[in-house]
């Protein structure tokens, strides 16, 4: 058996690149890639073809996790009867006697030794391992295939506000979570409404608006839609497109009562919500937009997003909206948007937002960049 | 949605053991049963039973919320919402400039917050609204009742009586001018006694009483289904003095805000809160900002700030989902007692003022 070392980059793994020991050959010719740590974002995948192209040691692979929604399993699952066909109770007892309790132990152990010490049939063990790997391991693809898939499934949604589009590098990307944070009165609900108007009118696609603050005013949305259709005489008959945008106005209004104090499960609930949102964005290729509050940094006095550090890893793009500090004293100071975190643009970019104008903006639907 | 094991209210040691043994969701725990659980983790059967009871309660609570609470998490299209909003009325304030910047008056199903320095007219406006919500529909009102929760003790019944008398007088003038059947019919039931008997007054002395009152309010509102306005006069007062733990205060206020949003939506009533002002120090100047901090600012949907400019009172619409920011001047006029009120109502966009009754 030849052993090759392959550099594998786990998507979403905070440690970045991890080195795995892979063996090639054996009766099935499979590539075994085992993840010994428990990553915070468990890859849930479906195994592809039994014959996987054996990679050369110099080409970097990327694990492409595609979710299998029925099993939210990690590598730490205990072996139980019925987990897969062929895994009987007596088998489990024998394995347990040899200190093999979880899926990881089973898959990473040498099956010949196990067959000898447990006096089980080697073929049965190999069959069980194949099924377990199909359920619990990640399927490597190369970067070119990933890029092709991303090109065909990602869409960029214009927000209806050209300066905000410039900030977000042409608009909202599907498959990602974007966050808008701002003090009260800085325009978050207005921006969400304008995104909803632009997506449903310009792209003719459904929008899902989840409101937890009571700030959704249908008459304002109607005003915005009317302003956009003014020069076009056509009437929108039916929006036939699938769901492409999910807007959650104020995720912090429902999460902040749960955090802090002696409630230890608040953080876990928040992380579960984060996982669900990211899975939603990736699986159904929708753009998820959430709104957040701001708090004051105790050391510097600057404004930053609420919900703490754990939440700050969830959205891939963060925009900080700022209105006027004391509106009844100053003159007209316009609303600004500042980019706090982005995978594509330099942070610190600032643009002026035009909220509340009913001027007609010509919107061209943006095609995915080739 | 499956509940994660990490998010269940169990002791941390037990949670760590469950996660190490490989349990991910609450469903898996329930399927394993107490005997299997005690064997896998190595705890006694009684502990396993207790833990499973907690899990079952949590899941039952979640299921009840999603199934029975379909009224609160209702799903509808924007078109349906638009039609609802257009048929909804507003609660007028009898100050036409203020009504203009609010877009017609205080909106139902939204939380409006009025902030201002002492003496600027917040309680006056609240009492005016408690009377105005009862105006019959043929006169352009909402024909509802009002709940007034007072924490500062500033509600004066005789002032409310004066405001009510002026309102009845105003409606009588309209009925005399138009001479329509339904106007006269409505006027029979619209009198000073009926107005005062439909204002439900609660007095809360500290924050615990206030929280209890707000959490018990849904039951009260389901019995009195005609209530269209809930006023909390002085929401800052019980929370500002004697509170050591500021993070607890933020959590309580956030929970309170969510409860008020539920009340506003479920019972189709307007919620009006009054807030105090506090000083914030900038670089080299100080400014007056609404009290209770940044996170409370997100609770209200519409925010009005009353302030002074030399001797002129100004009202600024600071935050609103559908109207632009603007500032208007307003006055509080004093009415002459002994039954002679100065009527300055004008039907068009004149300068109407809030009438404040005062007994000398």
Q: Are B266 and B72 in contact (CB under 8 A)?
A: yes
Q: Can you tell me the mean pLDDT for A189-201?
A: 88
Chain B partners within 8 Å of A273 (Cβ): none
CA distance A358 to A226: 9
Nearest CA in chain B to A306: B295
Q: Can you tell me the mean pLDDT for A343-349?
A: 87
Residue B9, min C-alpha distance to chain A (Å)? 6
Q: Which residue has the higher pLDDT, A297 or A368?
A: A297
> Looking at the predicted structure, is the pLDDT value of residue B336 above 60?
no
Size of interface A-B (CB pairs under 8 A): 130
**Do B170 and B282 reside in the same domain of the chain?**
yes
Banded model confidence at residue A71, pLDDT cuts 50, 70, 90: very low
What ipTM was estimated for this complex? 0.77
**Do B29 and B92 reside in the same domain of the chain?**
no
Q: Which residue has the higher pLDDT, A140 or A46?
A: A140
> Looking at the predicted structure, is the pLDDT value of residue B201 above 80?
yes
> Looking at the predicted structure, is the pLDDT value of residue A3 above 70?
no
Burial of A178 (0-12, 13-18, 19+ CB in 10 A): buried
> Looking at the predicted structure, is the pLDDT value of residue B211 above 90?
yes
Predicted pLDDT at A239: 55
Q: Is residue B148 part of a domain?
A: yes
**Do B58 and B128 reside in the same domain of the chain?**
no
Chain B partners within 8 Å of A296 (Cβ): 294
Q: Does A205 touch chain B (CB under 8 A)?
A: no
CA distance B327 to B325: 7
CA distance B66 to B74: 10
Place of tokens 């497109």: A241
> Looking at the predicted structure, is the pLDDT value of residue A229 above 50?
yes
Range with the lowest mean pLDDT among A50-64, A137-151, A299-313, B85-99?
A50-64
Range with the lowest mean pLDDT among A14-28, A229-243, B70-84, B108-122?
A14-28
Structural domain boundaries enclosing B11: 5-63
Predicted pLDDT at B271: 94
Question: Is beta strand B286-290 parallel, antiparallel or unpaired with respect to A177-182?
Answer: unpaired
Q: Are A92 and A103 in contact (CB under 8 A)?
A: no
CA distance A216 to B110: 10
**Do B43 and B107 reside in the same domain of the chain?**
no
Report the range out of A26-30, A93-97, B147-151 with the highest average pLDDT. B147-151
Q: Is residue B212 part of a domain?
A: yes
> Looking at the predicted structure, is the pLDDT value of residue A251 above 60?
yes
* CA B55 to each of CA A261, A348, B3, B49: distance values in angstroms, whole numbers, following the listed order: 21, 46, 9, 10
Predicted pLDDT at B215: 93
**Do B328 and B179 reside in the same domain of the chain?**
yes
Per-position DSSP letters for A295-332, written without gaps between them:
EE-TTT--EEESSHHHHHTS-SEEEEEE--SSTTTS--
Q: Can you tell me the mean pLDDT for B185-208?
A: 89
How many domains are contained in chain B? Answer: 2
CA distance A352 to A350: 7
Predicted pLDDT at B272: 95
> Looking at the predicted structure, is the pLDDT value of residue A364 above 70?
no
**Do B270 and B313 reside in the same domain of the chain?**
yes
Q: Which residue has the higher pLDDT, B66 or B133?
A: B133
Q: Which residue has the higher pLDDT, B330 or A298?
A: B330
Q: Which of residues 321-350 of A touch B (CB under 8 A)?
A: 325-329
Q: Does A226 touch chain B (CB under 8 A)?
A: no
**Nearest-CA neighbor of A182 among A290, A347, A293, A311?**
A293
Nearest CA in chain A to B296: A184
Helix locations, chain B, DSSP H = 12-21, 26-41, 45-68, 78-87, 96-102, 122-132, 157-178, 181-189, 192-197, 207-223, 237-240, 246-266, 293-296
Burial of B156 (0-12, 13-18, 19+ CB in 10 A): middle
CA distance B105 to B102: 5
Q: Which two tokens stand for residue B148?
A: 């007034």
Which tens digits make up the pLDDT trace of A72-94? 344 466 777 777 777 788 888 88
From the list B248, B282, B300, the residue facing A261 with the nearest CB is: B248
Q: Can you tell me the mean pLDDT for A105-121?
A: 82
Predicted pLDDT at A366: 36
Q: Do A265 and B9 touch (CB under 8 A)?
A: yes
CATH number, domain containing residue B12: 1.10.150.20
Q: Are A75 and A98 in contact (CB under 8 A)?
A: no
Banded model confidence at residue A31, pLDDT cuts 50, 70, 90: very low
Banded model confidence at residue A155, pLDDT cuts 50, 70, 90: confident
For the full predicted model, state whether its pTM sits above 0.90.
no
**Nearest-CA neighbor of A71 among A136, A137, A140?**
A136
Helix locations, B224-335, DSSP H = 237-240, 246-266, 293-296
* CA A71 to each of CA A43, A67, A117, A204, A341: distance values in angstroms, whole numbers, following the listed order: 11, 9, 31, 34, 32
Q: Which is it for the CA torsion A219, A225, A230, A232, positive or negative?
A: negative
**Do B204 and B121 reside in the same domain of the chain?**
yes
Predicted pLDDT at B360: 33
Place of tokens 């005997």: B35
Burial of A290 (0-12, 13-18, 19+ CB in 10 A): buried
Q: Can you tell me the mean pLDDT for A93-103?
A: 79
Contacts 24+ apart (CB under 8 A), A39-42: A39/A10, A39/A12, A39/A13, A39/A14, A40/A12, A40/A14, A41/A12, A41/A13, A41/A275, A41/A278, A42/A72, A42/A73, A42/A74, A42/A75
pLDDT, chain A, mean: 71
Q: Does B35 touch chain A (CB under 8 A)?
A: no
**Do B53 and B113 reside in the same domain of the chain?**
no
CA distance A195 to B324: 19
Residue A2, min C-alpha distance to chain B (Å)? 33
Chain B partners within 8 Å of A327 (Cβ): 316, 318, 325
Q: Is residue B19 part of a domain?
A: yes
Q: Which residues contact B22 (CB under 8 A, 6 or more apart)?
A: A74, A76, A77, A78, A102
Nearest CA in chain B to A183: B294
Which tens digits make up the pLDDT trace of B249-279? 888 898 899 899 999 988 989 999 999 998 8
Q: Count CB-CB contacts under 10 A for residue A40.
A: 12
Q: Does B117 touch chain A (CB under 8 A)?
A: no
Banded model confidence at residue A246, pLDDT cuts 50, 70, 90: very high
Q: Which two tokens stand for residue A34?
A: 């085992």
Percentage of chain A surpassing pLDDT 90? 11
CATH number, domain containing residue B169: 3.40.50.300
Question: Is beta strand A17-24 parallel, antiparallel or unpaired with respect to B227-233?
Answer: unpaired
CA within 13 Å, CB half, A22: 24
Which tens digits make up the pLDDT trace of B28-67? 788 777 888 887 777 888 888 888 888 888 777 777 666 5
Predicted pLDDT at A278: 93
Q: Does B14 touch chain A (CB under 8 A)?
A: no
Q: Which of residues 101-120 of A touch B (CB under 8 A)?
A: 102
**Do B30 and B165 reside in the same domain of the chain?**
no
Predicted pLDDT at B275: 93
Q: Does A73 touch chain B (CB under 8 A)?
A: yes
Place of tokens 């009006």: B272
> Looking at the predicted structure, is the pLDDT value of residue A176 above 80?
yes
Q: Is residue B73 part of a domain?
A: no
**Do B117 and B193 reside in the same domain of the chain?**
yes
Chain A partners within 8 Å of B305 (Cβ): 328
Question: Is beta strand A241-249 parallel, antiparallel or unpaired with respect to A287-292?
Answer: parallel
Q: Which residue has the higher pLDDT, B153 or A103?
A: B153
Q: Is residue B348 part of a domain?
A: no
Q: Which residue has the higher pLDDT, A258 or B231?
A: B231
**Do B47 and B138 reside in the same domain of the chain?**
no
Chain A interface disruption, residue of B22, B40, B103, most A CBs within 10 A: B22
Q: Is residue B230 part of a domain?
A: yes
Q: Is residue B358 part of a domain?
A: no
Predicted pLDDT at B151: 93
Banded model confidence at residue B292, pLDDT cuts 50, 70, 90: confident
Burial of B15 (0-12, 13-18, 19+ CB in 10 A): buried
**Do B148 and B218 reside in the same domain of the chain?**
yes
pLDDT, chain B, mean: 81
Which tens digits make up the pLDDT trace of A277-317? 999 998 888 999 999 988 877 777 778 888 888 899 999 99
Q: Which two tokens stand for residue A338?
A: 């500042």
> Looking at the predicted structure, is the pLDDT value of residue B338 above 50?
no
Q: Is residue B124 part of a domain?
A: yes
> Looking at the predicted structure, is the pLDDT value of residue A29 above 60?
no
Predicted pLDDT at B219: 93
Banded model confidence at residue A332, pLDDT cuts 50, 70, 90: low
Predicted pLDDT at B37: 81
Chain A partners within 8 Å of B318 (Cβ): 185, 327-328
Predicted pLDDT at A89: 81
């Amino acid at each position: 058996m030849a052993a090759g070392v392959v550099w594998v980059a786990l998507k979403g793994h905070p440690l970045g690149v991890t080195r795995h020991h892979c063996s090639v050959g054996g009766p099935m010719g499979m590539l075994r890639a085992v993840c010994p740590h428990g990553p915070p974002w468990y890859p849930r995948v479906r195994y592809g073809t039994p014959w996987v192209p054996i990679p050369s040691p110099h080409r970097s692979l990327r694990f492409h996790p595609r979710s299998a929604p029925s099993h939210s399993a990690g590598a730490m699952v205990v072996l139980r009867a019925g987990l897969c066909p062929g895994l009987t109770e007596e088998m489990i007892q024998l394995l347990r006697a040899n200190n093999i309790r979880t899926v990881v132990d089973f898959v990473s152990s040498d099956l010949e030794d196990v067959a000898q010490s447990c006096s089980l049939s080697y073929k049965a063990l190999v069959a069980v391992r194949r099924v377990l790997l199909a359920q619990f391991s990640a399927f490597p693809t190369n970067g070119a295939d990933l890029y092709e898939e991303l090109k065909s499934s990602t869409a960029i949604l214009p927000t209806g506000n050209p300066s905000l589009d410039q900030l977000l590098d042409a608009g909202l990307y599907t498959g990602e979570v974007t966050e808008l944070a701002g003090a009260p009165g800085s325009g978050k609900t207005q921006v969400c409404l304008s995104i909803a108007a632009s997506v449903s009118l310009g792209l003719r696609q459904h929008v899902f608006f989840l409101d937890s603050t009571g700030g959704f005013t249908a008459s304002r949305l109607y005003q915005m839609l009317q302003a956009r259709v003014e020069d076009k005489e056509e009437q929108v008959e039916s929006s036939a497109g699938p769901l492409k945008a999910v807007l959650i106005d104020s995720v912090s209004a429902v999460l902040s009562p749960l955090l802090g104090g002696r409630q230890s499960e608040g953080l876990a609930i928040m992380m579960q919500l984060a996982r669900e949102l990211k899975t939603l964005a990736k699986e159904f290729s929708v753009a998820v937009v959430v709104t957040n509050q701001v708090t004051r940094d105790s050391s510097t006095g600057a404004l930053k997003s609420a919900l703490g550090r754990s939440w700050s890893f969830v959205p891939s793009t963060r925009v900080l909206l700022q209105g006027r500090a004391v509106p009844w004293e100053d003159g007209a100071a316009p609303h600004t948007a500042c980019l706090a975190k982005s995978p594509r643009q330099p942070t610190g970019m600032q643009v002026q937002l035009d909220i509340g104008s009913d001027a007609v903006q010509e919107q061209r639907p943006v095609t995915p960049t080739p | 949605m499956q509940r994660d094991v990490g998010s269940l209210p169990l002791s941390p040691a037990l949670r760590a053991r469950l996660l190490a043994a490989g349990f991910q969701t609450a469903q898996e725990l329930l399927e394993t049963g107490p005997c299997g659980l005690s064997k896998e983790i190595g705890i006694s059967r009684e502990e396993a039973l207790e833990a499973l009871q907690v899990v079952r309660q949590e899941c039952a609570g979640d299921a009840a919320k999603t199934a029975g609470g379909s009224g609160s998490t209702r799903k509808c299209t924007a078109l349906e919402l638009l039609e609802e909003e257009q048929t909804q009325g507003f609660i007028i304030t009898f100050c036409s400039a203020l009504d203009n910047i609010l877009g017609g008056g205080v909106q139902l199903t939204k939380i409006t917050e009025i902030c201002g320095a002492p003496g600027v007219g917040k309680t006056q406006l609240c009492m005016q609204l408690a009377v105005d919500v009862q105006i019959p529909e043929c006169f352009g009102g909402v024909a509802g009742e009002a709940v007034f929760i007072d924490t500062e003790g500033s509600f004066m019944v005789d002032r409310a009586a004066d405001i009510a008398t002026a309102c009845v007088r105003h409606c009588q003038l309209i009925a005399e001018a138009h001479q329509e059947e339904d106007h006269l019919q409505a006027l029979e039931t619209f009198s000073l006694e009926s107005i005062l008997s439909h204002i439900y007054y609660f007095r809360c002395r500290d924050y615990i009483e206030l929280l209890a009152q707000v959490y018990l309010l849904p039951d009260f509102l389901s019995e009195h289904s005609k209530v269209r306005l809930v006023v909390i006069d002085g929401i800052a007062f019980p929370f500002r003095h004697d509170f050591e733990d500021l993070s607890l205060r933020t959590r309580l206020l956030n929970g309170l805000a969510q409860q008020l949003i539920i009340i506003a939506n479920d019972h189709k009533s307007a919620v009006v809160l009054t807030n105090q002002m506090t000083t914030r120090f900038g670089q080299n100047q100080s400014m007056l900002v609404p009290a209770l901090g940044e996170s409370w600012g997100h609770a209200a949907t519409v925010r009005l700030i009353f302030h002074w400019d030399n001797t002129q009172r100004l009202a600024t619409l600071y935050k609103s989902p559908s109207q632009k920011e603007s500032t208007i001047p307003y006055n509080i006029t004093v009415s002459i007692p002994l039954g002679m009120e100065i009527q300055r109502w004008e039907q068009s966009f004149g300068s109407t003022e809030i009438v404040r009754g005062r007994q000398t």
